[in-house]
Structure 1
Amino acid sequence: MKKILLVFAIIAWVSTTSAQDRIALGLKAGFNSTNINLSNIPSGTEIKNEAKSGFLFGAYGRLKLIGKLSFQPELYYAKKQTQYQITEGGESVVVNSDIKSWDVPLLANLQLIDLKVASVYGVAGPVASFISKDDLKSMKDANWTFQAGIGAQVWKISADVRYEWGMKDISKLDFGQKTDVLTFTIGYRLFGI
């Protein structure tokens, strides 16, 4: 019985050790600039959109797949802000929009350059975005976008820049709205690769 327990303990230890060579977990935070692309604006109405800064914070994971390719799921809370100037019948109104969401990027991470002390990587993939608060109540509850970007990692610190394209109309209104978001983040790897 002791031999069987010893064998199971060795297998569990080897599995844990090899998993740490393939898995990473970390925290991230940053800021974003959100622009809403508008379409199908009713005639006689002019709407201009101005990007504003917001923030994000959350966590990421990384699972090494093959070679220099990894799967990188993330979960973060984001505040996205934008401003509309609506002109109709010669009168203008400025409206600020404040959107808070939980974003879930499902990214492929490809290491492009490995210098041992530092590395450069590219990321790309879809993002599911779930609206938790919309001041104007004009957005659908969920949204799909696509992110692509580049970053660098030194020791446990990473920094990246990404651009996010709206893939789906997010508006409940008669005119179309798609998000475009520029994101800058800093990450800290807690453990793993």
Structure 2
Amino acid sequence: MQRDGYQSITSSRDSCVYTSCYCEENVWKLCEYVSAQSPHLVGEVYAVFISNDRRTVPLWKQKSGHGNEPVIWDYHVILLHKSSQWGQSFIYDLDSVLACPCDLQLYAEQAFRSDQGLKPAFWRKVRVIPAEMFLKTFASDRSHMKKAGVWHKPPPPYPCIQTPESGMNLDDFISMDPSVGVGNVFFLSEFIQHFTENL
């Protein structure tokens, strides 16, 4: 369970920069906030992309879910804080009905659940990118949210996130091919074990 006294590394949930269906940008903005407001902690923060080769990943306890049914995303992005002070990892998921932040173990039990019992097509993988690297390398022109020139969901009000090298590399982050992009790719169970035991 979450330890008493842990202070959120972001602003309050209601005041976080948030746009529905743009989870990758929401997490980028969270990383940007930590980098600016708590630079001594940014080395403990990671962007976590959840997907698989078929881009069909179930997650429970999502705001867009219905009852106890999972939401099937093509991908989802959350923030992980591996707190050296508390010896514990915390998840920030602005799309979840769980607490934000939420202890990783609790999030794993309620939102991830287990790949056992799921068809292999739904098994989850994660790509873990240090926040500083994510801020320097991620770019999106939001074209994946347009169809025939029409927005599938309204875009964030701020300009597109770009780097000097790229205007759009979102697919490299969603890919679970370890030879592509930045960061480290884990099977879901490996990710949970790594960030709950290696503190």
The two structures share one fold, judged by TM-score above 0.5: no
Scaled by the length of structure 1, the TM-score of the pair is 0.25
In terms of fraction of residues, the more strand-rich structure is 1
User: Which protein has the larger Cα radius of gyration, Structure 1 or Structure 2?
Assistant: 1
Scaled by the length of structure 2, the TM-score of the pair is 0.24
In terms of fraction of residues, the more helix-rich structure is 2
